[in-house]
Amino acid sequence: MRLDDVRDVKLDWRGSMMPPATPGPSDPPVRWHRCFSWAETVLAWVLLIVPTLLSALSDQAAEHRDTTLLLAGGAAVWLGLTTVALRGKLRDHPLAAVAMFAGVVTFGSILQYREAYFLIFMVYGFFAAMRMKPMLVAFLGVGITSLLINTMTLGGPLHALSVSPGIWGTVVVVQTVAIGGGGALFAAVGRQSQERKQALERLAAAEAENRGLQRQLLAQAREAGVLDERQRLSQEIHDTLAQGFTGIITQLEAAAQARADAAEWERHLAAATQLARENLTAARRSVAALHPEPLETATLPEALAEVARLWSERTGVPAEFSATGTAVPLHPELEATLLRVTQEALSNVAKHARASRAGITLSYLGDEVILDARDDGVGFDPAHPPTPPSAEGGHGLPGMRQRAERLAGTLHVESEPGGGTAISARLPAIPSATLDPTEGAS
């Protein structure tokens, strides 16, 4: 395959009692806020129309009734300007909110003083107050509305407070705290909801960026792997195939010069034939090393189990394989790396450990995968590993470490003379889905 692309909720008590109404350019209003604004506007008109109809149907003097209806019309014009004409950012501007509140309580208190029915409209003053910023101004607006709505039918706040200051003062304070506290709670819930939405959006953006970085990482790893593989093949061709062909040519030339001596001619020809067979074996080994064949028809745990089984049969050393966690398909580059590390680790055991048993464990841990290889052999000093790269195809510990680091992983080695060896390769568990959908088999 091609790998081209590898709360805290802070409640600002100096802010508005209303939830934020004007998100940033990249944060469109949430649906519940639009619904609330629409319902609030409808409520304002209902609270004005109901007392106006009741006043129009009352048996008050015509002149008194006409003046009241005229004032109600002025209140309607004010509502039209502040709830219909003003929209979006203009409606939620602090000065617009203060002007709206001032107009509502002014018209409402005058109308309530003339007709008790308009106490209904004064209720909207609480909603208008909760739009103001900062929070202390909103609480002050709720207090003013409470004072007016409770005293205008009794001759006004001055008269009511002069007659029964304790009663009306207590009513205003309790009402202000109750309504203001409810508004503050509503605002907190609104801010929390919006912050959660923004956090989810940031998380989604981070995940998208992370997927891009993973593709880039795997692309870079593949490029580095291709370069390393070219260098390895170049060295192997030089050390085996090129030297072998040189020997074959030398033997054939010697055979040509020894035509008169049949025994000598046959000896050179046999040597050339043997060299050709050895070169063919070396070429097949190099080709087989280019792609992890066990992964073509099996999952990674199955492939590793088969590698351990075949190695055990070949060496006579028992090798156990186990897998933990939920196995998931990983990116092909990751699975190939884990397979190569396993093969190299077992190869090292066979060459150097003189072990009586070995074990391989593959652990799926959600966002990472860990491969552990251990043996009970003679061990070694990790500062002087006994497995330098060789022309036979093995890269030893440095090669395994390079493979892991190319994929943002790590390789940890624990060993001591006489204490066996444990190797742990830890890699990010990049799923196979990370593969770009435009990529295909090659």
Full DSSP string of 246-273: HHHHHHHHHHHHTTT-HHHHHHHHHHHH
**From edge to edge, which strands make up the β-sheet containing 410-415?**
319-324, 358-364, 368-375, 421-428, 410-415
| pLDDT value, residue 226 | 65
Helix (H/G/I), strand (E/B), else coil: 426: strand
Could you read off the pLDDT of 263-311 as tens digits, one per residue?
888 888 888 888 888 778 767 766 665 556 677 778 999 999 999 998 9
Confidence of residue 27 (pLDDT cuts 50, 70, 90): very low
pLDDT at 95 over 80: yes
| pLDDT value, residue 35 | 72
Confidence of residue 24 (pLDDT cuts 50, 70, 90): very low
pLDDT at 325 over 50: yes
Buried b / exposed e over 5-42, threshold 16 CB at 10 Å, is bbeeeeeeeebbbbbbbeeeeeeeebeebeebbeebbe
Confidence of residue 424 (pLDDT cuts 50, 70, 90): very high
Beta bridge pairs of residue 374: 359, 422
Contacts of 388 (CB under 8 A, 6+ apart): 396, 398
Q: Average pLDDT for residues 383-388, to the nearest whole number?
A: 64
Could you read off the pLDDT of 132-186 as tens digits, one per residue?
888 788 888 888 888 888 888 888 888 777 888 888 778 878 877 878 777 667 6
| pLDDT value, residue 204 | 86
| pLDDT value, residue 290 | 58
CB atoms within 10 A of CB 186: 15
| pLDDT value, residue 375 | 95
| pLDDT value, residue 395 | 52
Q: Average pLDDT for residues 24-39, to the nearest whole number?
A: 58
Q: Average pLDDT for residues 397-418, to the nearest whole number?
A: 89
Global pTM value: 0.44
pLDDT at 386 over 60: yes
Angle at 407 between CA 351 and CA 389, to 5 degrees: 25
Could you read off the pLDDT of 43-53 as tens digits, one per residue?
889 999 999 99
Q: Average pLDDT for residues 16-34, to the nearest whole number?
A: 47
Q: Average pLDDT for residues 349-362, to the nearest whole number?
A: 92
| pLDDT value, residue 240 | 61
| pLDDT value, residue 304 | 94
Q: Average pLDDT for residues 88-117, to the nearest whole number?
A: 84
User: How far from each other are the two terminal CA atoms of the chain, in whole angstroms?
Assistant: 6
